[in-house]
Amino acid sequence: MALLYADLDALRASAADVRIVTSDGQTIAAHSYVLASASPVLERMIDRARCRGWGAAADCTIAVLGVPSDAVLAFLHLLYSSDAAALARSRRLVAPGAEDLVAAHGPQLLALAHAYRVGWLKRAAEAAVSARWLTADRAVDMLKLARLCDAPRLYARCARLAAKDFAAVEASDGWRFARRHDPALELELLQLLEDADTRRARWARARASQEAYRQLGHAMGSLDRIFAAAGGGTDDDASSAGTCQDGDDATCQGLRLLMRHFATCARKVAPGGCARCKRMLQLFRLHASVCDRPEQDQPCRVPLCSHFTAKMQTEKADKTWRLLVKKVTRARAMAGLANRQVPEVVAMSWAKYSTSSKWARN
């Protein structure tokens, strides 16, 4: 921070041609070429002040109102120390040493950067407010600031915090003020909370569906291993069936119990049938739908696989069943990719990329 003040103090030694007036009446000397190059809004304000005769050609006055004078001074220091090209090359939002200055005046700098269209400073102030100023008791105030300053990332962070800890937000002064004087903001926050609840419920249903498809895909693989081991399949089948026979796989145990019941149940041919037997038949049908073994040299050993395969060739399945088959097939493919052993060269490349990306973010 001392470096930033040194830059401004060094330029103050030259003749200042602009006077900045703050809300509390303080005056700060500045240079028009620095302000004009940093902000198009300040450039127009300086031109209008000179054209309307508000100041002499070498000395015009502009007002920067709405924030304390120390925030205006910090704003000017950052404008004097900015180098957009260097910051872009180094992937930094602000110059080295300026993070504390931005964090100390984050909300005020966000408002000034938005009003005077200083893009790089607006991004830095938005990040600083999200990281250091956003708490449950300030969530409503920061939400209103984000809405006024068109800061979508800060807005989303405020919404997530309100949804996560609404009890603390409801006890804040900002919430009480909004309820009394700003019903539109209160309604907007309540709508955000409702949207967050709906989104969480939708994600929970999607996760439950994915887990169900994953379990069905695992059950199809377990059927292959069970009957490959029982029928004396290939060495690979026998090795994969060993885990199932050892009793370590709960899916295999459940399938064995269900098949044992299916083999001995007398109700499966009775009117109405047996619910457990119907479930086993559905599993056999699903296996036939996702099985690729008939295209290979050895036929599939799972019971009724060829029967259901021939039946599917003559009868068109409904849309719901085709969607189920598609989801289970995709879940099996994703599980196979997840369990695949990554080559050492690829793993080293990923580690190197992750390290370089982390360094770049910091």
Enumerate the domain spans of the chain: 8-133, 213-228+248-354
- Residue 310 — pLDDT band, cuts 50, 70, 90? confident
- The predicted pLDDT at position 240 comes to 40
> What six digits make up the tokens of 97?
């040493």
Domain spanning 213-228+248-354: which superfamily?
A: TAZ domain (1.20.1020.10)
The tens digit of pLDDT for each residue in 102-121 reads 889 999 999 999 999 999 89
- Identity at 332, one-letter amino acid code: R
The tens digit of pLDDT for each residue in 63-81 reads 999 999 999 999 998 888 7
Pairing of strands 27-30, 18-21: antiparallel
Comparison of pLDDT for 84 and 98, the residue scoring more: 98
- Look at domain 8-133 and name its CATH class: alpha beta
Per DSSP, what are the bridge partners of residue 63?
21
The proportion of the chain whose per-residue pLDDT surpasses 90, expressed as a percent, equals: 27
Nearest alpha carbon to residue 123 among 301, 19, 283, 131: 131
- The predicted pLDDT at position 304 comes to 85
Instruction: Please state the rounded mean pLDDT for residues 158-167.
Output: 89
By CB atoms closer than 10 A (0-12, 13-18, 19+), residue 352 is: exposed
Q: Residue 160, by phi and psi: left (phi above 0), alpha (psi -120 to 50) or beta?
A: alpha
- The predicted pLDDT at position 340 comes to 72
- The predicted pLDDT at position 235 comes to 40
Nearest alpha carbon to residue 261 among 278, 248, 246, 249: 278
pLDDT at 360 exceeding the cut of 80? no
- The predicted pLDDT at position 302 comes to 85
By CB atoms closer than 10 A (0-12, 13-18, 19+), residue 9 is: exposed
pLDDT, mean over the chain: 80
The tens digit of pLDDT for each residue in 225-269 reads 888 766 554 444 433 433 454 444 688 888 888 888 888 888 877
- The predicted pLDDT at position 80 comes to 83
CA dihedral 264, 266, 271, 272 (to 10 degrees): -40
By CB atoms closer than 10 A (0-12, 13-18, 19+), residue 295 is: exposed
pLDDT at 7 exceeding the cut of 60? no
- The predicted pLDDT at position 107 comes to 95
The tens digit of pLDDT for each residue in 173-183 reads 989 998 898 88
Sequence-distant (≥ 6) Cβ neighbours of residue 185 within 8 angstroms? 140, 143, 144, 178
